[in-house]
Amino acid sequence: MKKIVASGKTIEDAVRSGLAKLQVTEERVQVTVLDQPSKGLFGLIGVKEAKVQIELLPEPDPIDAIQETERFITEVAAKMGLDIIITRKESRDGLTLALSGSGDLGMLIGRRGQTLDALQYLVNIVANRYADSHIRIVLDAEDFRERRRKTLADLSDRLAGHVIRTRKEVVLEPMSPHERKVIHSQLQDHAKVRTYSKGDEPNRRVVITLR
């Protein structure tokens, strides 16, 4: 570990001088006082400066952003009385943290995944607080995301048929960006209908209409 000796009129001056030489903050060093300052005789003769030894501490181990995120999820689940297991899965949308375990995981999912979406938002904040670069995390529980995707895909096809029969557009309920994307993707190549979104978050909706 790097050590230097610095001097100054006061201990504080000596420390500041040493930190400037090392170009670090005080949290990154250990300071040992070698000599206290002394004014000497009549405050003029034999003036002695403060002297300190400043030792640079080793770099702290980098924090694993995903481990911190998993710890956060586990703590939230524990407060809800749930004992969960977290499995990491790589996907096109980013890293998926899939939750399973004992107890009613429906509490983590909520109505139409609203609780899961809210928790996913918080999880991404936690992960990116510790990450060196941006991380995109998808949070899933009991394969809810895939089940919901299939439900929305089937709904898209049924509503497309309804629009064709009635020749009237259909405005869906407000959905998250992820769920709106499922609807748009399902019908993007449809020969007779098209989709678009309208409104502002969190009340943005998908509209299905004739081409």
- The pLDDT tens digits for 27-60 are 889 999 999 988 765 555 557 889 999 998 886 5
DSSP bridge pairs for 160: none
Same domain, 131 and 80: yes
Backbone angles phi, psi at 149, to 5 degrees: -60, -45
Element (H, E) at 7: strand 3-8
- Domain span including residue 167: 147-210
Which of 16, 35, 56 is at the close of a domain?
56
Same domain, 154 and 191: yes
Q: What is the number of structural domains in the chain?
A: 3
DSSP bridge pairs for 144: none
Same domain, 82 and 138: yes
Residue linked to tokens 């001056």 = 13
Contact 6, 21 (CB under 8 A): yes
Residue 145 to residue 56: CA distance in whole angstroms = 49
pLDDT band of residue 177 (cuts 50, 70, 90) is confident
Arithmetic mean of pLDDT over the chain: 89
